[in-house]
Amino acid sequence: MKINIKNSNDYEIKMTVGLSWDDVKDDYYSQVNKELSNAKVKGARKGKLRGLQKELWLKNNKDYINSSFVDFALNKYFQKALQEENIVPINQGKVSELDFNGENSKFGFIIIFEIKPDINNKIPDYSKKINIKTNRYIATDKDVNKAIEDIRFKHATMKSLNKSSKLKSGHFIYADFTKLDDKGNPILDSILPNHQIKIGEGLFVGDLEKPFINKKAGDVVNIKIDQESREVPYSVKINKIEEQILPKLTDKFVKMVDKNFKNVDEFKNKINDNIQLNLDNENKKEFQNKVIEYFIDKTKFSPPKSMVENYKSFLIEDYKSKNQGSYDEEKMNSEFSEISIKNIKWLLVREFLMEKEKVFLKESELDEQIEKSIKDSPNYKKDIIKFYNEQSNKDKLREDMLNNKFFTKLENYFINKTKKISTDKIKKS
């Protein structure tokens, strides 16, 4: 068997295989005998053709026999050629040429298929310390105060105001909303009864907030709300006004929130630490994403078309399932093509780097992490066990742990050059 291999690009191989009649004749006659064993002719038992009946059957079924042999031989000799050349295809492959004219003829074919690119010599030299610039945002007192205010809101109580009390921004109202026609008359069955809203928040700010200020329970307010691409008039009858009473920030309050806190200062410090931890995790994500971008940009190769197309199809179907409205098919196809190319490149680079850096995860490490989760939250032991009995959840944990190991290893080669920025600057921008 003669084999010729030609690389069309980074991932596509054109394999030419040629065999003489002597190479394939045993397989050919074996295929003939197989077909004969299943042959049925009137006047003879199945598979028991003799003499003239046999000769006539072979003559009349020559094309069928040749076709059956080709199907068998293509698979056999393609697999044999792959083994000899130590090649692992990643798609089914396509036969572009076939050479076989039946008994006493040579057999050959050309098949085009894809492999994972050899990127060993294309990975950049990352052994030197490489600087990656990121932004590290620093928590401020405003962040802490905002977080504390949110906690106070969660523990707030509501106080009903008397009928003489005037409505202020921040108050809640219970009101009947009645839609009006263009002449100001109520529309039948259009009342939204006793609907609760907060004045000065959401929709009811600015021009929609002003008409309510200083109103009292029992008053009627006429407003217009942008709906259905136009301004829709409403009559709003205020039934009740409530004031939200926030608990004072005291040692007693923080102990009620969490018995482990001794005083307000300790509470504030813990909140600051939690906010900063979240910000630092965001910085870590930025650092990792820029490391990924570095390898995608510096590793010059074309990812296999079949892998890119499969990934793109997944993204498109996922998008369609989550977005039932109209969308630009051409634009979506273009955007997802670019995303797919980058993701498949990184998938192959990551696989190579993990093998090179000997990054792997033992099953025992996975079990230990689950045990740690149970130890940290013993009251939720049953829930944790049930959660990780789902294979998809366990696989996600495995992937996260492996990813953490991988980037911890890469931190030996990359330096996170952070620029400290106050979160106040984010709010100003």
Contact present, 360 and 354 (Cβ < 8 Å): yes
What is the structure's pLDDT at 428? 63
CATH fold of 264-428, please? Trigger factor, domain 2 (1.10.3120)
Write down the pTM of the prediction: 0.79
- Which alpha helices (H) appear in 357-390, and where do they start and end? 363-376, 381-389
How far from 204 is each of 110, 173, 223, CA to CA, in Å?
Answer: 71, 11, 10
**Angle of the 391-410 helix axis to the 329-356 helix axis, nearest 10:** 70
Per-residue pLDDT of the chain (429 residues; tens, 9 = 90+): 999 999 999 999 999 999 999 999 999 999 888 887 877 766 555 656 677 767 777 788 889 999 999 999 999 999 999 999 999 999 999 999 999 999 999 999 999 999 999 999 999 999 989 999 999 999 999 999 999 999 999 999 999 999 999 999 999 999 999 999 989 999 999 999 999 999 999 999 999 999 999 999 999 999 999 987 889 999 999 999 999 999 999 999 999 999 999 999 999 999 999 999 999 999 999 999 999 999 999 999 999 999 999 999 999 888 888 887 667 778 888 899 999 999 999 999 999 999 999 999 999 999 999 999 999 999 999 999 999 999 999 999 999 999 999 999 999 999 999 999 999 887 665
Query: Which residue type sits at 334?
Result: S
Contact present, 89 and 10 (Cβ < 8 Å): no
Contact present, 91 and 310 (Cβ < 8 Å): no
Contact present, 344 and 391 (Cβ < 8 Å): no
Q: CA 280 to CA 271: how far, in whole Å?
A: 14
By C-alpha distance, which of 314, 353, 366 is closest to 337?
314
Which CATH architecture group holds 157-245? Roll (3.10)
What is the structure's pLDDT at 41? 66
What is the structure's pLDDT at 45? 59
Please tell me the number of Cα atoms within 13 Å of 224 on its side-chain side: 9
The domain 2-114 belongs to what CATH superfamily?
A: Trigger factor ribosome-binding domain (3.30.70.1050)
What is the structure's pLDDT at 302? 96
- 181 phi and psi angles, rounded to 5 deg: -85, -175
Residue 250, number of CB atoms within 10 A of its CB: 11
Q: CA 294 to CA 394: how far, in whole Å?
A: 30
Q: CA 308 to CA 314: how far, in whole Å?
A: 10
For the chain, the structural domain boundaries read 2-114, 157-245, 264-428
Helix (H, G, I), strand (E, B) or coil at 121: coil
By C-alpha distance, which of 81, 94, 91, 96 is closest to 115?
91
Give the dihedral of Cα atoms 359, 364, 366, 370; nearest 10 deg.
-160
Is the CA virtual torsion 46, 50, 56, 59 positive or negative? positive
What is the structure's pLDDT at 330? 83
Q: CA 176 to CA 114: how far, in whole Å?
A: 67
Q: CA 325 to CA 311: how far, in whole Å?
A: 22
Per-residue buried b or exposed e for 84-104, using 16+ beta carbons within 10 Å of the residue's own CB? eeeeebebebeeeeeebeeee
Q: How far apart are the first and last CA of the chain?
A: 70
Q: What is the token pair recorded at 32? A: 């003939």
- 92 phi and psi angles, rounded to 5 deg: -70, -30
Q: What is the token pair recorded at 213? A: 């200020």
Residue 215, number of CB atoms within 10 A of its CB: 20
